[in-house]
Amino acid sequence: MTELPDRRLLLVHAHPDDESINNGATMARYAAEGAHVTLVTCTLGERGEVIPPELGHLSGAALGGHRLGELREAMRALGVTDFRLLGGAGRYCDSGMMGLPDNDDPGCFWQADVDQAAGLLAEVILEIRPQVLVTYDDDGGYGHPDHIQAHRVAMRAVELAAERGWDVPKVYWNRVPRSVAEESFARLDDDLPGLPFEKAAVVGDVPGVVADEQVTTEIDGTAHAAAKAAAMRAHATQITVAEPYFVLSNELAQPLLTTEYYELARGERPEERESDLFAGIGEAP
């Protein structure tokens, strides 16, 4: 196996596009700095709503295949070469929104055996030996079943990998400080008349918004704002970008954040807010 760089970051996401929205600037920054960045995506987002009319015919497996192509383009924009689908393409399919009949599909990620799926992810952890893992909180940021399941699988995989010899020192959950969200939406309200979007979302529509004091880590990715925007544009079935804002299929504008925020969920909680996910971690043995 090729020797990996001293700093290794693993991100676990539910669908293609989640990584670019939540962590695009972080991924681009660490990739540019020479860290090994690995993305594991749990489904292909086969039940996502398609925005462009010319792609509206895509659904199911055809949409999943198209979104895999979008993911490849997004990773190219971020400079990330190591990206994988949990268990391989098609192992787990999109579960749809919470409460829909789609949740009962035996092949969907929501119905996956957590230990089995976590075992697949643990193999990646043991291969890469990341010092840092990033995923969602226990509500998946906003209650989507695949996001909740990604959290469960990621946290269990960390336990399984530790039993087999690699203890991930730091696990982070995606967050947005409430003050940042409120200030960003105030700017959006002022800018909305000049945007190609008619309506704005509200703070409550943003996943992972928490009280400022819960946030332990702030990653300045402003130097990689263009890379994040390009990665989000690559996910054209799901996102329309008009920097520094974007919309999803609900057509409600929200801010495109290039400073990204995290809560340290596993590891020694810092006394002051960190500016580096690898803070406190020495070189790998």
Output the CA torsion sign for 64, 124, 138, 233. negative
Establish whether 224 is an annotated binding residue.
no
Establish whether 144 is an annotated binding residue.
no
Establish whether 17 is an annotated binding residue.
no
Return contacts of 87-92, CB within 8 angstroms, 24+ apart: 87/117, 87/120, 89/44, 89/64, 90/44, 90/61, 90/64, 91/120, 92/42, 92/43, 92/117
Which residues belong to the annotated binding site for Zn(2+)? 15, 18, 147
Which residues belong to the annotated binding site? 15, 18, 147
